[in-house]
Amino acid sequence: MSSAPSPAPSLAVDLPAPLPVATPGGRYDILIAPGLLANPAAWQGLPPAAQAVIVSNPTVWALHGETLQAALAPHYRRVSVALLPDGEQHKDLATLSLVFDHLLREGCDRRTVLFALGGGVIGDMTGFAAATYMRGIPFVQVPTTLLAQVDSSVGGKTAVNHPLGKNMIGAFYQPARVICDLDTLATLPERELRAGLAEVIKYGPIADEAFLAWLEAHVDALLARDAAALAHAVRRSCEIKAWVVGQDERESGLRAILNFGHTFGHAIESGLGYGQWLHGEAVGCGMVLAATLSAELGLVPAAYAERLHALIARAGLPVQAPAMDESRWFQLMRVDKKAQDGEIRFVVIEAPGRAAMVAAPDALVARVIRRHSAARP
């Protein structure tokens, strides 16, 4: 009996101009366009190897896994799959060990290439596994969420969480390529889309006032998944992040501005338990608090903080922090990576379109938390 005919190969479609990222840890391109998963041109020039491993979760794999596996098949003799449990609550050392278990069982060597197919959790864990397996193997980011496409897949920050602090165990390790297929956003749950908008919104107040104004005019189009609006939002966000990371790969100075809203946001995530709020939801709320803190410090007018508050609310993100003991807020913020000698430091808006990192009196920070918190002591 003859076998069924093989499907006709996909025809390569010309790619848009790649967005380069240049850091001391490596130069690589970000590709941003619809249809990249099935476009053979997107997969040319990958690191050579006999074997590739796709790291994903069952939800994303069911949607996009076979397409990626077919795209990689012409380039690697063997393509295996490691599926991890879904969710921020699984971004830990125990789950990371599942990746190492797979690599060792499959006999993966130092040329094996890892492909991170999924959102920020998958990207962070795959990158950390790549940074540490045999002291470093290549990996490619294939982000399928808005948050991952505009933030976590770019810049080489990889980490897992610890019960006492978010992203406290990790490494700086740059990918070989980032492939943002905009079509994957069509399958994104509404809550995940809104969470991703938080990381898009942050780029306006910290680096580009014109982009902030554009977001105010187009937030409804983004929520409606307008293709042109999403393409512009992803590309502009990646341009800003690439510019920042190119100047400060290891977050010794400028790169810290990318954490606007994150000191408060990480405390929310850790305090509630990972996975209760999505990362973008916590960052959105954290930006409201950070904007208010900026105004309280006299850096921007109160109207500017209210403007950000209104945009974050329009994006459908939480603007009121959860009930949490004040002492717990400060305990968690003091183990934030930006803290020094136990002193909490916050990214604030120094002026519209420009950010800075400052310390603030605990009493002032507590007042800001109380103003925006569900807890009213």
Residues involved in catalysis: 135, 157, 199, 241, 251, 255, 259, 262, 266, 279
CA dihedral 270, 169, 159, 284 (to 10 degrees): 30
Cβ atoms < 10 Å from Cβ of 191: 13
Residue 106 per-residue DSSP state: T
Q: Write out the H or E segment, with its range, that includes residue 167.
A: strand 165-172
Helix (H, G, I), strand (E, B) or coil at 102: helix
Alpha-carbon span 219 to 205, nearest angstrom:
15
Q: Which stretches of 34-164 are assigned E, i.e. beta strand? A: 51-56, 78-83, 113-118, 139-143, 157-162
Do residues 328 and 272 make contact, with C-beta atoms less than 8 angstroms apart? no
Per the rule left: phi > 0, alpha: psi between -120 and 50, beta: everything else, 329 is: alpha
Alpha-carbon span 375 to 243, nearest angstrom:
39
Alpha-carbon span 57 to 122, nearest angstrom:
8
Do residues 286 and 262 make contact, with C-beta atoms less than 8 angstroms apart? yes
Task: Please give the span between the terminal C-alpha atoms of the chain, in angstroms, as a whole number.
Answer: 77
Q: Write out the H or E segment, with its range, that includes residue 322.
A: none
- Give, in degrees to the nearest 5, the angle at Cα 157 between 308 and 154: 65
Q: Please report where in the chains the tokens 């992803």 appear, as a residue.
A: 234
Q: Which of 214, 144, 210 is nearest to 179 (CA)?
A: 144
Do residues 356 and 206 make contact, with C-beta atoms less than 8 angstroms apart? no
Alpha-carbon span 322 to 116, nearest angstrom:
32
Amino acid at 189: P
Structure tokens at 84: 């991890």
